[in-house]
Structure 1
Amino acid sequence: MPMWLEPRARSVTLTGGVPYSPGPDVVAIRIIAGGGGGGGGGGARTAAGSASSGGGGGGGAAVVERVIPAAEITGPLTPTIGAGGNGGAGATVGNTAGGAGAAGGNTTLLMGGVAILTAFAGGGGAGGQLAGVSGGGGGGGFAGVGGSTATGVAGTAGPSGGGIGGAGTQPSPVTSGGTNAGGGGGGGGGANGAVGSIAGASLSGGSGGAGGGGVSTASTAFAGGTGRSPLAGGALFSIGGTVPAGAGTAGAPVPGMAGFSGAGGGGAIGAVGGAGGAGGRSAGGGGGGSAEAAIGGAGGRGGDGFITVIELLA
């Protein structure tokens, strides 16, 4: 009667710039890599009687995989780990928009100076706008970076699989960023004088960050949107910032995959807007909350990328 042997494996986390070579007992490697998530936009600063939006969330990055037999690895593999994009600054001067978040960096793996794998980054979210919505950053695709945005226009989806950014037009915390299966989820938009939008999710890529809370013409502040998880299609959430001025929850880590995205910061009246939460690995940062007669909340930083190698042993 034949006896089936369970395969043996071990996991290695690569460090940027440090070459990796499989040992003599490795027969193949499975590579899982994620790009850097986009940063959330900062919240606007407005005067009494004027509406504004919180910053848009940053787009999540793509997560890609590849299996390579050890016999085909002809030299050391050199990794570059994409950094998360910085969040935009909250507006400090009255009646001005917040600063836009920055796109994340791509994660690449080279063999002999040639890229054998690239995980593209998420785009940055727009800063909060005066009397208008703020767009979320686009999710990274399998063939390109998600688009960043500085206005109410949604960030474009990264080609071949990225999620489009949210346009922030929702008057309630509904999903704003595009949701997809493999590329990064789009960032949630910041709604004008309303609750920040929930971000788009991804089944295997990084989820987008949520939009920050806005301020209405009636001097009412609103909560930030909730971030997303990469689990169960994003059904689990990072809690959005409460009002007044509550900070959005940072994205929690998830072993072996992209983390939760950052939640949006809460709006505020006469106090600094709530900061957007930082994104977990490869996930977007949340947008900062808008503020009346005070500084807008800072956008959350996107999560750094990663490369995990699972070595299959002889």
Structure 2
Amino acid sequence: MGTVEAAYRPTAGSALEVDRAFYRRLAATHDQHKLVDSFEIPIRSGRAWKVPQGHICRLVTIDGPQVADLNVWNAHDPRERMWAARTRQLQRAHVSTFDRLWSTLPFLRPLVTVTHDTLSGYGVDGDGGRVHDLLGTRCDPYVNRMLTGENFDFHCHSNLVRAVLPYGLTEFDVHDVLNVFQCTGLTDEDRYFMKACPARPGDFFEFFAELDLLCALSTCPGGDLSVPMWGPDARDPLDVCHPIGVEVYQPSHDLLRGWQQPVRAAYDTMHGLRVPQWQHTR
């Protein structure tokens, strides 16, 4: 087979070019950052929190493997939120260090940049599985009802809905997620598969906030996904569920020297429309 190039390739000076030295320095000086917030998200629940621009957020598997579904918004304008599909195209279908999560139109700018990922060495397994998945999306009670005929209120979609309510958001604001710590891929029939989470206690996924962010995270009711939730072998995977730790750090001003908040997309948003030129007649 021939080698094909990625469709979306950076040109010199584009936003797809990442200052790796800057983000590598942030990761290397973690012990110097100030911890400003930390909490634990219990199993089968969700929580939302703010991460100021220029801060670092770390998601940690506290005491065992656990998949977590992440949503991200601009804290000042929730119409700007993570765009999973475009991120798949601009970055990868499974993200890791130096990849970015991009925002929706008409903003189109990086919301976060991944600075450290202890699972970056997982690579591609024998089944084609990779971790930190953008291929799929959150589990939800609507599909569950369709597949099982039963209601279940603690799928990731519902957990995220409850999490964002205190911030004035609703179910309509919950969007396609980054499945942190989740191992997925495509079968030979081009169908989506999920595997058991390879994370161990203390593994983490860390990102830098390029804007003031509102984040929300669900601890998936499937836990580490080692137990099928649907199909003939399905059973309740409660015993493979674990909490997720969240930590927010503030780097020193010196470390942020030279960094600038990314600007909105430069396109003029006219889409071929023109402002009418009125003619005045006597």
Instruction: Decide: shared fold, TM above 0.5.
Output: no
More strand by share: 2
Higher-RCO chain (CA-CA 8 Å, sequence separation at least 6): 2
How high is the TM-score relative to the length of structure 2? 0.29
More helix by share: 2
How high is the TM-score relative to the length of structure 1? 0.27
